Amino acid sequence: MARQAHEAHTSACEVYEEDLVLLHYGDLRGAARQKLDGHLASCAGCAGYLKELATLLPLTVKRDEPPPEFWQNYSRELRGKLDDVAAKPAWWRNLATIFRPSFIPAFVTAAVVVLALTFTLGKAVWNGKSSPQDDEMAEALPVAENLDFFSAMDILDDLELLEFIASQSNNAA
């Protein structure tokens, strides 16, 4: 029986359902509102539907406001984080610690080692490696020594004679 009473109150005229929701939110104005007000005076179903909208719709929207404890914890945590940032030294101060007097001997030693290695290992780079001309000269030296040997034997002096003899032997064959 309670169910039938509940259904009687929730049944609104289909024509006016959208207008009832707009009326609840305060978005219905002008002639449409006057027409709906006149209908509500004569229709118990639509009036009950409007009352149920007024009681049920606010329940569907939850408050998004955090409790006061949240704001107290938030404020405390924010102050703690700000204090941590203020206490932390700047990055450039950390870099400045490298240049303290206790580190200067280490830097000087490292510089001396780098210079020594540069002078010893870089000597070939600075003097330059053997150029291609030097390599060609190294290959030509034994040939030059052999030329001296042949010229000492007086064979090259009679080159024309050798060529003539070679041409005669080719013709005879």
At 152-164, the pLDDT tens digits run: 666 556 667 777 7
Is 153 in a helix, a strand, or coil?
coil
Q: What is the pLDDT of residue 102?
A: 74
At 75-102, the pLDDT tens digits run: 889 888 888 888 877 777 777 776 677 7
Q: What is the pLDDT of residue 23?
A: 86
Quick check: 54 and 24 in contact, CB under 8 A? yes
Q: What is the pLDDT of residue 129?
A: 55
DSSP notation for 78-130:
HHHHHHHHHHSPPHHHHHHGGGSGGGHHHHHHHHHHHHHHHHHHTHHHHH-PP
Provide the sign of the torsion angle of the four alpha carbons 129, 135, 138, 144, taken in this order.
Answer: negative
Q: What is the pLDDT of residue 138?
A: 66
Low-confidence ranges of the chain (pLDDT < 70): 1-10, 98-99, 124-159, 173
pTM, two decimals, is 0.33
Give the single-character DSSP code of 66. Answer: P
Q: What is the pLDDT of residue 1?
A: 37
Cα–Cα distance measured from residue 46 to residue 36, given in angstroms and rounded to the nearest whole number? 9
Quick check: 82 and 50 in contact, CB under 8 A? no
